């Protein structure tokens, strides 16, 4: 059984990635889904690498909706990306 802290980190990371999930059929939907699965199966030691991947993916998602002219979508994904970044820094997965 994993200690509660490990379960929390992995669970919270997965939930924050869910907020980044684009609509089915979007070019990034599978990437977010796959990354969530990887996070849920990973060890805590792997989370910093996955946090970097998640931030790179969130950047691509934000640019993608911005390029489509979707201001509402951009605001939604940018808010989710900020939450993911803040969590990752607070959890020690990413540097400040």
Which pLDDT value is given to residue 26?
87
Computed on alpha carbons and rounded to an integer, the radius of gyration of the chain in Å comes to: 13
CA distance 69 to 12: 30
Which pLDDT value is given to residue 3?
66
- DSSP for residue 46: G
What's the predicted TM-score (pTM) here? 0.90
Walk along the chain (96 residues) and give the pLDDT tens digit of each residue: 456 688 899 999 999 999 999 888 888 999 999 999 999 999 999 999 999 999 999 999 999 999 999 999 999 999 999 999 999 999 999 998
Is the Cβ–Cβ distance between 28 and 22 less than 8 Å? yes
80, 38, 33: which is closest to 55 by C-alpha?
A: 80
Please give the angle made by the CA atoms of 95, 53 and 47, to the nearest 5 degrees.
65
């Amino acid at each position: 059984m994993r200690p509660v802290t490990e379960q929390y980190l992995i669970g919270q990371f997965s939930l924050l990635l869910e907020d980044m999930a684009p609509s089915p059929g979007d070019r990034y939907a599978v990437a977010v889904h796959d990354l969530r699965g990887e996070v849920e199966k990973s060890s805590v030691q792997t989370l910093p690498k996955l946090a970097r991947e998640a931030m790179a993916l969130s950047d691509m998602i934000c640019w993608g909706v911005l390029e489509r002219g979707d201001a509402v979508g951009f605001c939604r994904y940018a808010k989710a990306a900020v939450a993911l970044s803040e969590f990752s820094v607070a959890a020690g997965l990413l540097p400040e």
